Amino acid sequence: MKKIALLSFLIGCLCFSCSMKNEKTLSNLSVRNFQTDVNDQLTNLYILKNKAGMEVCITNYGARVVSVMVPDRNGKMEDVVCGFSDIARYIEKKQNFGATIGRYIGRIINATFTLDSLTFHLAANTGKHCAHGGEPGFASRIWQAEKLDDNSLKLSYFSPDGENGFPGDLTVEVYFSVTDKNELDIRYEATTDKPTVLNLSNHSFFNLSGDFTTTVEDQLLMVNADAYTPYDSTKCVTGEILPVADTPFDFTTPHRIGERINEDCLQLNITKGYDHNWVLNTKGDETKPAARLVDEKSGRTLEVYTNEPGLQVYTANGLKGDLIGKNEVAYGKRCSVCLETQHFADSPNIPQFPSTVLRPGEKYYSHCVYRFGVLAGK
């Protein structure tokens, strides 16, 4: 059966390659550079477009967003996410650029949790903790791809019972769509045959200026949240939910990302910038913006909508300039910002946090919309 499935996938990829042979990407990516064999599974690059000219490129290696081409106020198209120009670098560098993270984004402390009186021991990959689902996580897996139409892609992955210690045979589907509203719409669905925990998200790194040689510190950020979940000194969540008022974490009105990022306070010292989960006021209402990012120079804007209770804001504090991305740009500290819709870290061990339990007969559903626009006027 595995050989038949591989043959079917190979035929599908060959047909796709033929159809894409003469097509050019706005981001100057080569489809051919994303076609390889990893453990008898094939990788590829998929191009999604809308009628307005927005283009998103996605690879089935890690279900990753590779590029997002959107216009500035003058109509100039530029790529606004970090990524690499070929599949080899994604495999070699083990960075989360654009990846679908699972089974659990964030840390599960001590790599253990108890569910229905059973204790599960997970693969520890950050000291004694399990971060982003362990290694290899979903970001390093080959997903099965189905191009639905010019602007939609379905990626599927089967995670077997016990993978990295997580219980249950898990079937995951991620739907990427580029809408005519210049949105990147990401929908996650999953089912399990045993009680388990699940927390999926996309880990794209954004810089709305399109210039990754600069930082995002001058870009304006609003986060629709009155509270956040703090860390202890080891970057493990404490279980507290604290108000953002009168702290550098208050983005209820727009502030420049760099305005308070270097203040001498425990939370910022722990992470050397922002890398925290905000507790959204939206309470699952996808009609209300969870966050808004603005680059005044280019005029580009980004609004985030989600049914998730939290938003992780990460200001790429760990990038050091040693990763060479698209267009041979070295990605330096704070060259981008992640806006990850999610449940909270370590929720399986913290009863007061929203539950991440998924049971047989239930369907996991998570939705994130990245809506791009431009400021009015010149």
Contacts with 252 (C-beta within 8 Å, 6 or more apart), sequence order = 222, 223, 224, 225, 226, 244
CB 362 within 8 A of CB 229: no
Peptide bond into 230 cis (omega under 30): no
b/e 71-103 (16+ beta carbons within 10 angstroms → b): bbbeeeebbbbbbbbbbebbeeeebbbbbbbbb
CB 343 within 8 A of CB 357: no
Task: Name the DSSP letter for residue 32.
Answer: G
Catalytic residue chosen out of the listed positions 163, 276, 340, 343: 340
Lookup: tokens for 33: 């550079």
Q: Is 277 helix (H, G, I), strand (E, B) or coil?
A: strand
Cα–Cα–Cα angle for 27, 98, 181, nearest 5°?
A: 65
Catalytic residue chosen out of the listed positions 203, 276, 303, 308: 203
259 is catalytic: no
CA pair distance 80, 338, nearest whole angstrom: 12
Peptide bond into 103 cis (omega under 30): yes
367 is catalytic: no
Lookup: tokens for 295: 């680059």
Residues catalogued as catalytic: 203, 340
